[in-house]
Amino acid sequence: MLLGLFFLLCCWACSAKSDDAKQCHQFTDLNLNNAIVGTGLEVQLLLYTRENKDCAGNLNKENSTAFKYVNVTRKFTFIIHGYRPTGSPPVWIDDIVNDMLSLEDMNVIIVDWNRGATTIIYHSAAARTKKVAVILKKLIDDLLKEGASLESIYMIGVSLGAHIAGFVGSMYNGKLGRITGLDPAGPLFSGKPPDERLDPTDALFVDVIHTDIDALGYRENLGHIDFYPNGGTDQPGCPQTIFSGSQYWKCDHQRSVFLYLSSLKQSCDVMTYPCDSYKDYRSGKCANCDAYLPLTCPTLGYNADAWKDHFVLKNPPVTKAFFDTAKKEPFCMFHYFLDITSWNKSVRRGYITIKLMTKEGHTTESVIDHEAATFEQYSQTSLLAKFDQDFENIYRMSLKYYSGTVIGPKYKLRVLRIRLRSLADPDRPQLCRYDFVLLENVETIFKPIPCEKMQM
């Protein structure tokens, strides 16, 4: 009987050890009560690979078995969240892990510092960022001893996490492969010197997406290239009033994450345009990307490093890129130039709305109203039109002209020629229409023809 009991105890011990080896670690889930009381700093380094994509191991847990999944010949992608005022896990964690591993065979490490980031006192969370960076450096040092390279380290930091990535990069004298900052935190970091925030010298390539520069995000350049979707302020589809609740405060800030996630799915490329200002981009002054040939204009997100050499070799190595997005995933906008040659004797000023239609009845519209365009006799005015759908076969088009005057006479815009040409696909046949009149506030529908037919 004693022998049987001893056997059962041994089996239980083996089973417990086996269960511990298979333990799947979860991102720390806290609540508002934790935020009010406050949390001390604890960090989990959750490893996912294609071999354990559904069961994370904790790399900083003593005697962790997770290291058996580490392959030092592969890229290491660290994902670092930011301030968590309510304690709940970020809603995008599972998506970014799955999408990363679907895209490339790599080591994905979620840096879970929710115990430390969860507090109603933002200053407390910000003060812990350098401590998190020290913990990450210890892990990277261990990986380097096992044969990993600094160039294989890629850090993606969200809000406060972007500055944590910068601190880590600074500890290695900017030798990390890449840092992506997703709307780096502005409060307590704006105006700080480079060693107190993310900076282009923190990695071999630093790219940054700014989506909330007028509130929670950082306004100025922080990378080799800084992307400013929709000018970096109000993002389409986000609430515009405080009555929308918490989404009013966080939607613009979080949009940087969802734009990046969309790039991982690769359903379409979000094209961006290096430019001095958002106004110049919307005016069509920055549509020429010949400087990047044989590449196109830079694209947002995961593949932005394809343009690395162009950005890093600039003097100074600072580039701003502007673009507009749709209000929902996949966020892509398709850019065209609408060239209008007028034959009015008098100068006309106003705004244009253009609509494209397919034979099946699908439509997409661009309202070009950021500033009044000027139409002079026999002069071509080129307007940048952006659509949330791209039709290869455009069956009909419509134009509407609006002078912007509330009272007074209605005007006509006499058109000698309009031409529609794609920026993303310059080889696509251009569409034209000749000799017609736009009555103010009246939609004029017509069937366009290939421009080359009229040139023969």
Q: How many residues would you count in the chain?
A: 456
Q: Does the annotation count 183 as an active-site position?
A: yes
Under a CB-based contact definition with an 8 Å cutoff, are residues 398 and 354 in contact? Answer: yes
290 burial via Cβ count (<10 Å: 0-12, 13-18, 19+) = exposed
Q: Write down the catalytic residue from 163, 253, 262, 269.
A: 253
Residues 6+ apart with CB under 8 A from 2: none
Q: How far apart are CA 107 and CA 105, in angstroms?
A: 7
DSSP string spanning 100-117?
A: HHHH---EEEEEEEHHHH
Does the annotation place 195 within a ligand binding site?
no
Q: How far apart are CA 70 and CA 51, in angstroms?
A: 10
Under a CB-based contact definition with an 8 Å cutoff, are residues 354 and 385 in contact? Answer: yes
Does the annotation place 202 within a ligand binding site?
yes
Q: In what order do the strands lie in the sheet with 412-422?
A: 380-387, 334-342, 412-422, 431-439, 449-450
Q: Write down the catalytic residue from 152, 159, 170, 263.
A: 159
Other CB atoms within 10 Å distance of the CB of residue 389: 14
User: 266 vs 12, 62, 99, 327, 331, CA distance in Å?
Assistant: 48, 38, 10, 17, 11
Q: How far apart are CA 57 and CA 360, in angstroms?
A: 51
Q: Does the annotation count 190 as an active-site position?
A: no
Report helix, strand or coil for 23: coil
Under a CB-based contact definition with an 8 Å cutoff, are residues 151 and 101 in contact? Answer: no
Does the annotation place 199 within a ligand binding site?
yes
Q: Write down the catalytic residue from 112, 183, 207, 212.
A: 183
Compute φ and ψ for 322, nearest 5 degrees.
-120, 155
Q: Does the annotation count 244 as an active-site position?
A: no
Question: Cα–chain-centroid distance for residue 25?
Answer: 28
Burial 249-276 (b: 16+ CB within 10 A, else e): bbbbbbbbbbbbbbbbeeebbbbbbbbe
Q: How far apart are CA 132 and CA 224, in angstroms?
A: 24
**Residues of the binding site for Ca(2+):** 197, 199, 202
Q: Which residues are catalytic?
A: 159, 183, 253
**Residues of the binding site:** 197, 199, 202
